[in-house]
Structure 1
């Protein structure tokens, strides 16, 4: 499965707010990779009326959902690597660029979308983009509901859920297992490659800090007890503990258990 992903990093910053210092530091880190073109997508260079989904998300000032659509659109048109702005890059993505597409898990039973590499016109990116073009973004009483054609019977709260259920149903040979899988049009990596801190330096291309800059109250803020636990066991073990505690609450945990038995 050979491909040729361009050395272009795409990121989104809609809404016009000043970037926090930690976001600026992560972007500065990307620049130190060398040899990559870095493109910021915002209101000045992206058509926020491209479809009803992004139009309604933008009108509701839900920037995360705006970027959910925009990342797929620019990857289809240009290819390259999409990064969330709270991604800290640890080493060059060059060894992964001969894939048709790459991404990883965020949890053992959920596909991550903070780091996505793809060739121009990749079939998976194209099909996911079409789902968004026909999707409904509904904002009522400050609550968001998402409706995707053909997936009405699935619980989809965000793009992680959509990617996960799409892969389960449409990517031949895919198992929801947090294991590396080299498939026809995509390579899927364990969560330690792009999302989670790890002791294995061969894996850690990046860390996704999950700041959720679009939230009024940052969900990454921790209680005093959590901070004490983190202090005693260290960042990596604390991150593993948090991920395992959340695992059973995720919508496709049962599918993960089934697929683990197939390995």
Structure 2
């Protein structure tokens, strides 16, 4: 079982942003009986290995935090929350597994949200990956950890749904811990420096994927869309169609017209 500990990182010494403070406030609101452990220059050894030491010297705080959060969960157990993650409801119901991860979107079974009991094999694999780096270099760790989940623990990357993997890992779909939709536990606002000028696009991309996924999985999707447009007036047809690349729309309309013309002959 995963202990009620939230690990988060704040390196660099600057005051927390308004978004970070607002997100942390949601943690305390929905997780009142959890322990919160902040990892920073004073609480974490920034010379622990060459990767972390190099990242710290270059002031690449995101990559210092990448290791610190893995190290902390491997040692103490608990859940990682980035300071741009907003909690929407209690996490108690997902603590029964030995380890939890969540899809960011299809084919990406590992996201920034994860948790585990202390000394879990998957988290240990992540820590060893960093410890084996003999110098600091830019690595997008999620790609490596996606590979671990798929090749070693049995994740099926094309099934964005709940999966029970080896070593007691529960993998949750993207509508649990990433997208900004009403039914989820955590919203990731993607303020991280690693995506910088593309952060708003990436956030919209993840959210659009989740919205489309819900419609595709809904047997009454066509009626649902009509209801949202005509009765609730939440979206306009243009707003919904804007989420789909124009080339797909043109190809779809062309095929529909050709099909109707064939039926008339």
User: TM-score of the superposition, structure 1-length normalised?
Assistant: 0.73
Equivalent runs, 1:120-199 vs 2, <5 Å: 120-138=118-136, 144=138, 146=139, 158-171=140-153, 173-177=154-158, 178-185=160-167, 186-198=169-181
Shift of residue 32 of structure 1?
1.1
Give ranges in structure 1 of 5+ residues lacking alignment: 147-157, 246-263
Structure of higher RCO (CA pairs closer than 8 Å, 6+ residues apart): 1
In the alignment, the residues of structure 1 paired with residue 132 and residue 235 of structure 2 have an alpha-carbon distance, to the nearest angstrom, of: 46
Post-superposition CA distance 1:142-170 (Å, at most 9, x none): xx3x4xxxxxxxxxxx1211111111221
SS at match of 2:175: coil
Give the number of equivalent residue pairs: 210
Q: Does 1:22 align with 2:19?
A: yes
Out of 192, 198, 203, the position equivalent to 1:219 is: 198
Q: Which has the higher helix share?
A: 2
- The CA distance in 2 between the partners of 1:17 and 1:96, in whole Å, is 33
Runs of at least 4 residues off by over 6 Å: none
- Tell me, in whole angstroms, the C-alpha distance in 1 between the residues paired with 2:20 and 2:28: 13
> In the TM superposition, what whole-angstrom CA distance separates every residue of 1:101-158 from its partner, at most 9, and x where no partner exists?
001111211133321110011111011111110025545xxxx3x4xxxxxxxxxxx1
Q: How much is the aligned-residue C-alpha RMSD, in angstroms? A: 2.7
Name structure 2 gaps, 5 residues minimum: 209-233, 247-265
- Aligned partners of 1:76 and 1:126 also within 8 Å: yes
Give the counterpart of 2:99 among 94, 101, 116: 101
What is the CA deviation profile of residues 147-198 of structure 1, one whole-angstrom value per residue up to 9, with x for unaligned ones? Answer: xxxxxxxxxxx12111111112211x32112221012321111111000133
TM-score computed with the length of structure 2 as normaliser: 0.72
